[in-house]
């Protein structure tokens, strides 16, 4: 079955760039039927969609983060990645990767990775 | 952006109870709504999609209804494993947005 796994540093300094990778196993990231997304959840708070990418490289970003976010895909490694620049303590969160449908109408997330906590602190 | 508002923010109930959680969208989203269950320290799990379709493997005591702006998630007979936080998500337009969550606690 399809599995997603986030990886990357758990601690990032303020003003630096957060970088995470999601590795997809049990299926191809090059499927024409899906987008691959990033969602985050600050400790004790709700869920925020960050952005999504198609295997061709087409992206959608949340306007609230768009100026700082870059999502990329490496189909040869079956991975996609997140970069968030100029981080502050407000970016401390559990970051999840997940799959969703290609049409915006019907973009529910399933499955999800287990999540990785990224703390922004000096 | 479409704002999603859940009520209540928390609810206490007992095993065997019937519980209903409401989600309201700030504008019409047809049936483009999903519900998730999240347990502490775990990723959210998709329960319901397209407002009323049960995800494979999800017990039939979970059901969803609604269209337009008002939606409900109902658990017909609470089981111990159902105590968790529940989120709705609109899938009508970007940016995709979630409700603030409803924490279901044991009474």
Question: Contact, A55 vs A31, CB < 8 A?
Answer: yes
Q: A114 and B42: CB-CB below 8 Å?
A: yes
Question: Contact, A46 vs A60, CB < 8 A?
Answer: no
C-alpha distances (whole Å) from B76 to each of A96, B14, B20, B52 are 30, 12, 8, 14
**Residue B43 confidence (pLDDT):** 98
Q: B98 and A47: CB-CB below 8 Å?
A: yes
Closest CA of chain A from B34, distance in Å:
6
Label residue B82 by pLDDT band (50, 70, 90).
very high
Label residue A102 by pLDDT band (50, 70, 90).
confident
Q: Chain B within 8 Å of A44 (Cβ-Cβ)?
A: no
Nearest chain B residue to A115 by CA: give it. B43
CA–CA separation, A97 vs A54, rounded Å? 13
**Residue B34 confidence (pLDDT):** 98
Place of tokens 């970016």: A91
**Residue A32 confidence (pLDDT):** 85
**Residue B55 confidence (pLDDT):** 97
What is the per-residue pLDDT across B3-60, written as a single tens digit (0 to 9) for each? 999 999 999 999 999 999 999 999 999 999 999 999 999 999 999 999 999 999 999 9
Q: Cα Rg for chain A, rounded, in angstroms?
A: 14
**Residue A103 confidence (pLDDT):** 76
Q: What value does the mean pLDDT take over residues A8-31?
A: 97
**Residue B1 confidence (pLDDT):** 96
Task: State the best of A36, A49, A98, A105 to mutate against chain B, taking most chain B CBs within 10 Å.
Answer: A105
> Which of A37, A105, A110 is closest, CB to CB, to B46?
A110
Q: B42 and A46: CB-CB below 8 Å?
A: no
Label residue A101 by pLDDT band (50, 70, 90).
confident
Phi, psi torsion values for B71, nearest 5 degrees: -135, 155
**Residue A91 confidence (pLDDT):** 98
**Residue A46 confidence (pLDDT):** 97
Give residue ranges of B with CB < 8 Å to any A CB. 1, 30, 32, 34, 36, 42-46, 49-50, 55, 87, 89, 91-101
Per-residue pLDDT for A22 more than 80? yes
Nearest to A1 by CA among A23, A24, A33, A26: A26
CA–CA separation, A4 vs A27, rounded Å? 10
Q: A46 and B100: CB-CB below 8 Å?
A: yes
> Which of A49, A107, A115 is closest, CB to CB, to B43?
A115
Q: How many of the other CB atoms lie within 10 Å of CB of A113?
A: 22
What is the per-residue pLDDT across A50-68, written as a single tens digit (0 to 9) for each? 999 999 999 999 999 999 9
**Residue A13 confidence (pLDDT):** 98
Label residue A105 by pLDDT band (50, 70, 90).
confident
**Percentage of the residues of chain A whose pLDDT score is greater than 70:** 100
């Amino acid at each position: 079955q399809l599995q997603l796994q986030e990886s990357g540093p758990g601690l990032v300094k303020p003003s630096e760039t957060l970088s995470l990778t999601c590795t997809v196993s049990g299926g191809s990231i090059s499927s024409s039927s899906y987008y691959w997304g990033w969602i985050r959840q600050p400790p004790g708070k709700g869920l925020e969609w960050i952005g999504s990418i198609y295997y061709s490289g087409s992206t959608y970003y949340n306007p609230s983060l768009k100026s700082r976010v870059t999502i990329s895909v490496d189909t040869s490694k079956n991975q996609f990645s997140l970069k968030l620049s100029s981080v502050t303590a407000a970016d401390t969160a559990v970051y999840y990767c997940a799959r969703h449908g290609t049409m915006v109408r019907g973009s529910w997330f399933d499955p999800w990775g287990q999540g990785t906590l990224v703390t922004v602190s000096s | 952006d479409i704002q999603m508002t859940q009520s209540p923010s928390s609810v206490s109930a007992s095993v065997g109870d019937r519980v209903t959680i409401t989600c309201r969208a700030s504008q019409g989203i047809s049936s483009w709504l999903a519900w998730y269950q999240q347990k502490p320290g775990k990723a959210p799990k998709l329960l319901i999609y397209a407002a009323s379709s049960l995800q494979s493997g999800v017990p039939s005591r979970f059901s969803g209804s609604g269209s337009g702006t008002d939606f409900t998630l109902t658990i017909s007979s609470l089981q111990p494993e159902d105590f968790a936080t529940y989120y709705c998500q609109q899938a009508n337009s970007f940016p995709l947005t979630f409700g603030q969550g409803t924490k279901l606690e044991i009474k």
